[in-house]
Structure 1
């Protein structure tokens, strides 16, 4: 059966981003009360406003720069200058956009840099949500500082196509049953990549995670902090882990929530996320069937099959939506996947499935897919997150584009995740014709000598499966794992007091939760 083109490694978004599709209102993420774990004390350096410590003389001008802050909608904003290419620091430079909320308690201990994930999600736009997520105690002690990583939104952003052209790409259903169908999919993304290079220029080849982590150290120095204090969600954990591996001696307190281990290959990421979303969908279906207004019926297995049948229908005969756009299989998948990021969004999925299954109406699922992609009602896209996602993914790692290897991988994925697995298969087509070279990652992510790092994992996280948090906690030599037993993507600020207390204790006093702490 035909499968749809997926983004490389499939969805990865923060749980707390704004749902604009249905009513334009922000969906609040509720905090559930929980137990506070026992704690151990560890000596962890805090940030202090002293020297920058540039790694090389050529980088000293970047490390020693003085940020010029001005008032903006987010509070205070500034732009830091970094090299486009760290192998040639005297060459071209680019700007990294920053936004800051000052510590509410007066003089700050230092800066808490936050990254919402993606890759491709704007940290500057996320700052207001971070302020509603991070505890008041932490905000009294730290300046909250958000940034747009290189290639994202305000920081030399990747630019590719206009709204109607992006609509075509994200709604495209490929037929992978033939070599011709696979080639057509590769050509679609090849044309997209060519457009990205034409509109973005040389920066397209320098949006890799390793360069972004080097930027993070420049930001640390420009903010006047000797050590990095950092809160990273989802892909932000990969960025934080990369920083720790590059600069272990400058690690202060790093919270990595919704972990993505950078040693995983693209194939491992694709299969892991397929299983993660399969499990999250199964939990939703069980909850839906236990309610009174579920459009599904029978057993959980039967309910999962009904969702699969809907996805197959959308591929074969896209559903009407009351607009000139129809709900393709690709859009139906993203409309289903988006509410799985947080259990509080499950009622929207019930609305979407009810309309589609009982009324043949794809409009609600289309709205949910549009929310995932930051598409606005006028047909424009509010951010460049989708294009940046592809661009960063294709310079960081690439799956094999060999048809036989992709078919073998698809069999493994679909056996492990029969309901949604096809939407995580054939990811090699995305980067097969990408017009800039692969940059890749680091050889060693152990971060030997780093101060204690806190990894947070959720047991039924769809986008970053719990096994990845377990893996990252072993990859990083100084990491401890905090487990949240629950649903949804990421935990700090959206789960319970047990998680909040553990993370706050670590950020404020270096208190690392005891090994094996579960909330």
Structure 2
């Protein structure tokens, strides 16, 4: 069962003006469009009640190789700071001079070259919601551009409820195995009841284990936590690179604190003006676009198990899913069989990055031959399942944040069934699954605190919004919409496949982002890179 939706070529510059925000509501027949209001900024002055949090002193300690770790406190509820704290964890990769930026060794008084000045901290967030920024920095910091690493401390903060920051948990590993296998395209009332029961079990597990935290894991609260950390780091402005959900977190920060927003890159942008229904439906369309690109590429390889046309590929995938639905496939695990839901999840996982496409071709060929091992491996990777059967808190936090940020789209399974035809028109391959998937928040034990909104961030410095044309998880239309909402938005397009673009070795796009981060030179709105 999927978690609720929402995971080197030339450069040209276009003269397109800002794009207007896409209408919310999604156009699904029988469902009313929500009222979309602008996100209002917070007062510039720090409230007196929050002064103790902004006045903390970070105690950095060595951790792992070359990194420094710390923790700090934030209020559980910013409206009532006296009601208790949460402890958040952060990691820092200190700036390391590159060869060209190394301090001069020339004798005193000579014309030795001085290193360029440090630019402060650059906070990184890999997305999710639920992705650990601490783990991301520890794994990716050394892959960042040498110039960026020389002038910034790279900092990862696990958002509240995530990773090492007062994490939420909901189910045991055994129950998560069962949850991931539940049919998300029910064919009869019995399967509908099983899907509803799984959603209720997940929600109840979160309620029992998370307690009061469950009502205070919203993106607005996480953005306010970012501002506390910005102050504790000694930075006047927040410099930030966010990917996927990290773009929503970053845009929220910019909307709340436009005067404290520094150099901000939002890669694989989400559209805050969409409600949950429209978000899930358009995301289904993104995966359909990615599937079409995969099928076209697959047809060029001799080992493609899906035929030589898009129609053949779609028909064979549909037939495979139906066969697995009727008879789950054995796997090398021995005790676990591949369900239709896990097969679907496996295919979706491979849409996130085109380097996974060869693995998917092999997994699909094996599944057609009766072996579900490859697709189950991809499905397990989506959920982060470990070899010992344990799961990280990624999907628990994902659900908790999403169900707080937007009201549930459905009141029950009848609504989900009514939405299926429109979802299937958007995505013949994945629409049905993603319509039923949107049922999850219906049973959430705490009410949503957020709503669809636009983000203007009036007065903020240029904000670079990166969109990939065939991004499966954050469709390109979302980047166009967000860039158009932001008063200072600059749309930077990557014409290519996969989820997010910065750091994937496209010289044009990486160069544009790095120039912005290092020199403050934002790309012209409408710049295009890639194929």
Per the normalisation by structure 2, the TM-score is 0.87
8 Å contact from structure 1 (residues 54, 63) kept in 2? no
1:442 CA displacement: 7.0
Determine whether 1:365 maps to 2:375: yes
Which residue in 1 is equivalent to 2:147? 137
1:269 CA displacement: 1.2
Which residue in 1 is equivalent to 2:200? 190
1:508 CA displacement: 1.0
Which residue in 1 is equivalent to 2:4? 8
1:324 CA displacement: 0.9
Separation in 2, partners of 1:204, 1:198: 10
Structure 2 vs 1, CA of residues 365 and 456 (structure 1 numbering), >3 Å: closer, same or farther?
same
Which residue in 2 is equivalent to 1:101? 93
**Structure 2: tracts of 5 or more residues without a match:** 16-43, 98-114
Candidates 372, 388, 400, aligned match of 2:397: 388
Separation in 1, partners of 2:185, 2:301: 37
Structure 2 vs 1, CA of residues 35 and 236 (structure 1 numbering), >3 Å: closer, same or farther?
same
Candidates 45, 54, 63, aligned match of 2:54: 63
Which residue in 2 is equivalent to 1:151? 161
Q: CA deviation digits over 1:222-247, x for unaligned, max 9?
A: 11101010000000000001111111
Determine whether 1:304 maps to 2:314: yes
Per the normalisation by structure 1, the TM-score is 0.89
Candidates 148, 173, 177, aligned match of 2:183: 173
State how 1:64-143 maps to structure 2 within 5 Å: 64-73=55-64, 75-105=67-97, 108-143=118-153
1:255 CA displacement: 0.1
Structure 2 vs 1, CA of residues 495 and 488 (structure 1 numbering), >3 Å: closer, same or farther?
farther
Separation in 2, partners of 1:78, 1:36: 42
**Structure 1: tracts of 5 or more residues without a match:** 13-31, 40-52
Determine whether 1:347 maps to 2:358: yes
Separation in 2, partners of 1:181, 1:288: 33
Structure 2 vs 1, CA of residues 341 and 495 (structure 1 numbering), >3 Å: closer, same or farther?
farther
1:128 CA displacement: 3.1
8 Å contact from structure 1 (residues 80, 96) kept in 2? yes
Which residue in 2 is equivalent to 1:483? 493
Q: CA deviation digits over 1:365-394, x for unaligned, max 9?
A: 10111111111111112x210111111111
Report the count of equivalent residues. Answer: 481
Separation in 1, partners of 2:209, 2:438: 23
Separation in 1, partners of 2:416, 2:47: 43
Which residue in 2 is equivalent to 1:210? 220
Q: Which moved more, 1:458-467 or 1:312-321?
A: 312-321
**Structure with bigger gyration radius:** 2
Separation in 2, partners of 1:186, 1:291: 41
Which residue in 2 is equivalent to 1:499? 509
8 Å contact from structure 1 (residues 448, 478) kept in 2? yes
8 Å contact from structure 1 (residues 209, 441) kept in 2? no
8 Å contact from structure 1 (residues 277, 337) kept in 2? yes
8 Å contact from structure 1 (residues 314, 329) kept in 2? yes
